[in-house]
Structure 1
Amino acid sequence: MINTYHSSMASLPPPLPPRRSQVLVKPQVSSAGRSKTLLRSLLGIVLLHFLLTAGGFIFLYYTGKTETTPQLSGAGYLQWDMKHSVRNNINYYHNSWLTALQPGDYVVFSRVTFSKADPVKPLASAVKLRHGESAKETVAMLAYCNLDTSGSGSNPQLCTASMGEVMSLERGNQLSLWVEDRSLVDYSRAATSFGMYKL
């Protein structure tokens, strides 16, 4: 049965819908998003470290570097032309030995270009170290290069033996550059050099 009863009273407006309360929900970051953020942070740190390191080496290059240019004199240790050498906090002994005036880590480098070959002996250069003027020297670094002697000889042959290393030196330690036969070396300034600078 259907109820058809009507009241004469005015009908009430429909009830208002319930108010929504605003709840701030923190968005969930996926593990892939965290990985990307971490990777970006690490790349930023690596880039910053690279820039600081490169800037430090450039600064040291212009403030604490010693580089010498050679001059010819017999066999064995290369003699350096000190008038054309850049020296800062480094002394020299008999134009052959560079002397560290402060203890610390030094970048030591050499470049020897040979313009002639020796038919018997290898083309070698060595950085020698001694702990004072009268101390026995030891080989700290050694490098070789090879010239092709089988050619016709119409074109000049050149080869370069290069070395570089970080070495811990005490005050008064001395370094020198040695070759078996100095008459085989190209002594131009751009071809042969020797130096060290403090880190």
Structure 2
Amino acid sequence: MINTYQTSMAPPPVPPRLAGSQPVLFPAPLPPRRHSKSLIRFLVAVVLLHLFLSIGGFIYLYYNDKMLSFQLPSRKGEEGQTAQFSSEKQDTSHKALAQMAIFHPPHSSDQKSAPGYLQWNINHSVLRNVAYYENTWLTILEPGDYYVYSGVTFSRGDSERPLVSRVKLRKNENAEVSVAMQAYCNLSSSSSGSSGSPSSRHLCTATQAAVITLERGNQLSVWVQDLLLVNYEEKATTFGMYKL
């Protein structure tokens, strides 16, 4: 008999077993880690750049709007008012003021000494939001605190009385007159007479200044004891005011 269980061929090798019971699959290839990190870094950079641009734009718009609020004037109601943050030049250009030039009245040989109010030469004076009344009074149009100044120069003295200049005030054209300020000056007795050349005359100036609270309609004027004693040269006698 032929032994069928014996053969010279070796049995086929046994396939290796897997560690787990999972079936053999073909997994999808994963993306390289290098490309993944580059993408994440790019996205983070874009987000940060957008954030910085947003913050910078907000700061720019905030300060730009703030600067415009300093420069643009504002108006409230029907009364036009300049902005609180306007420049000092714009603010002071609309304030009330007066710079008066004195009027030289014609003198005659028979003219007598008499007290009176100085008259203003309106053509050579500066008035802003201040009116004048009968060429001797100034009328206040804007109430407030005013710096008032006066300087009256005398070219001749008075042998009996000291030279005096008074700034007088009244509430309106029909009200009683009161003294707001007054000043004195003295000349030597040798110059008290009317004789003598202009170059040999002595001069003195009665100056005064004060801050006065004035209402609308108040009036101011300058009074002297003798109009013939005043020096009427240009700029020798001055009077003015400006609102603080």
More RCO (CA 8 Å, sep 6+): 1
With normalisation by structure 2, the TM-score equals: 0.54
Residue 172 (structure 2) aligns with: 132
Tell me the alpha carbon deviations over residues 93-120 of structure 1, each in whole angstroms, 9 at most, x when there is no partner: 0010011101100000001000001111
Name the count of aligned residue pairs.
Answer: 144
Residue 80 (structure 1) aligns with: 120
> What one-letter code is carried by the residue in structure 2 that aligns with 1:127?
V
Higher helix share: 2
Q: Secondary structure at the match of 1:87?
A: strand
Of 76, 97, 100, 1:65 maps to: 97
Q: Secondary structure at the match of 2:228?
A: helix
2:135 pairs with 1:95 = yes
2:207 pairs with 1:167 = no
Retained in 1: the 8 A contact 2:95–2:129? no
* Cα-Cα RMSD: 2.4
Retained in 2: the 8 A contact 1:60–1:197? no
Retained in 1: the 8 A contact 2:153–2:237? yes
Tell me the alpha carbon deviations over residues 8-40 of structure 1, each in whole angstroms, 9 at most, x when there is no partner: xxxxxxxxxxxxxxxxxxxxxxxxxxxxxxxxx
With normalisation by structure 1, the TM-score equals: 0.66
Residue 144 (structure 2) aligns with: 104
Unpaired stretches in structure 2, ≥5 consecutive residues:
1-86, 106-113
Unpaired stretches in structure 1, ≥5 consecutive residues:
1-54
CA drift of 1:148 comes to 1.0
Tell me the alpha carbon deviations over residues 48-105 of structure 1, each in whole angstroms, 9 at most, x when there is no partner: xxxxxxx969x74895421111124563100111111000010000010011101100
How far apart, CA to CA, are the structure 2 residues paired with 1:103 and 1:81?
A: 25
% identical equivalent positions: 52
Retained in 2: the 8 A contact 1:109–1:196? yes
Once the two structures are superposed, the pairs formed by residues 1-199 of structure 1 within 5 Å of their partners are 60=92, 64-73=96-105, 75-150=115-190, 155-199=200-244
How far apart, CA to CA, are the structure 2 residues paired with 1:145 and 1:184?
A: 12
Q: Secondary structure at the match of 1:66?
A: strand
How far apart, CA to CA, are the structure 2 residues paired with 1:194 and 1:84?
A: 13
How far apart, CA to CA, are the structure 2 residues paired with 1:56 and 1:125?
A: 34
How far apart, CA to CA, are the structure 1 residues paired with 2:118 and 2:154?
A: 13
CA drift of 1:190 comes to 1.3
Q: Which has the larger radius of gyration?
A: 2
> What one-letter code is carried by the residue in structure 1 that aligns with 2:230?
V
Higher strand share: 1
How far apart, CA to CA, are the structure 2 residues paired with 1:120 and 1:61?
A: 46
* Structure 1 residues 138 and 93: CA distance shift in structure 2, 3 A: same
Retained in 2: the 8 A contact 1:100–1:174? yes
* Structure 1 residues 153 and 135: CA distance shift in structure 2, 3 A: same
* Structure 1 residues 148 and 170: CA distance shift in structure 2, 3 A: same
CA drift of 1:189 comes to 2.5
> What one-letter code is carried by the residue in structure 2 that aligns with 1:107?
Y
